[in-house]
Amino acid sequence: MKTKKVAFLGMCIALSMILSFVESQIPPLMAVPGVKVGLPNIVMVFMLYKIGAKETAIVSILRVILVGILFGTPLSMIYSLVGAALSLIGMILLKKTNLFAPITVSVAGGILHNIGQIATACLVMETAQIAYYLPVLLISGTIAGILIGLTAAMILKRLDKMKL
């Protein structure tokens, strides 16, 4: 791996950690657990298109672990890990089809993140009732995914000539 690439991936982790922190400072938009914009996903969608699936997966998982150690609890880290893993798998598969634009990949990432977290919550709390939040989370996840996708697409367009 070239030094430049190592440095760039480090920067991506740092940036996504900052975005996680910024997002944690935003007051909850709705009183439903899990409703959020998912700012770090801007970095993930960008990396998926600009660098590659493997690097995106590494950066995403490292971000969740680091943010969990710094600002979270072991429990919140588990929620984030399942959400991030499911979201990553979905985005990588959808991108591989080469049929869809970044915005759709981002929407899939957003809702899969929410589905992963709800499923974990059902398992942790041993209550299926939490699935009651799923419809709201699917709608909010789609809207968040569109916003993140638009942002990532703009960044991709502007950094089109960037080489690693």
Partner 1 sequence: MKKRDIILIASILVVAIAFFLIVELTKEEGAGVVVKVDGVEVAEYSLSKSGTYPLNGGTNILVIEDGRAYLSDANCPDKLCVHQGKISRTGEVITCLPNKLTVTVFGAEESVDLIS
Binding site for partner 1 (CB under 8 A): 28, 31-33, 73, 75-76, 79, 99-101, 103-104, 107, 111, 121, 124-127, 129-130, 132-136, 138-139, 142, 146
Closest CB 81 distance from partner 1, rounded Å:
15
Nearer to partner 1, 59 or 111 (CB): 111
Give the alpha-carbon dihedral of 40, 147, 56, 131, to 10 degrees: 80
Nearer to partner 1, 32 or 164 (CB): 32
Q: Rounded to whole angstroms, how far apart are CA atoms 15 and 9?
A: 10
State CA 44 to chain mean position distance.
6
Nearer to partner 1, 17 or 103 (CB): 103
Nearer to partner 1, 13 or 84 (CB): 84
Closest CB 149 distance from partner 1, rounded Å:
9
Nearer to partner 1, 33 or 85 (CB): 33
Residues contacting residue 93 through CB under 8 Å, at least 6 positions apart: none
Closest CB 8 distance from partner 1, rounded Å:
27
Per DSSP, helices labelled H in the chain are 3-25, 40-50, 53-71, 74-96, 102-125, 134-158
Phi, psi of 54 (to 5 degrees): -60, -50
The total number of residues written for the chain in this structure: 164
Closest CB 137 distance from partner 1, rounded Å:
9
Q: Cα 135–139–141 angle (5° rounding)?
A: 110
Closest CB 51 distance from partner 1, rounded Å:
22
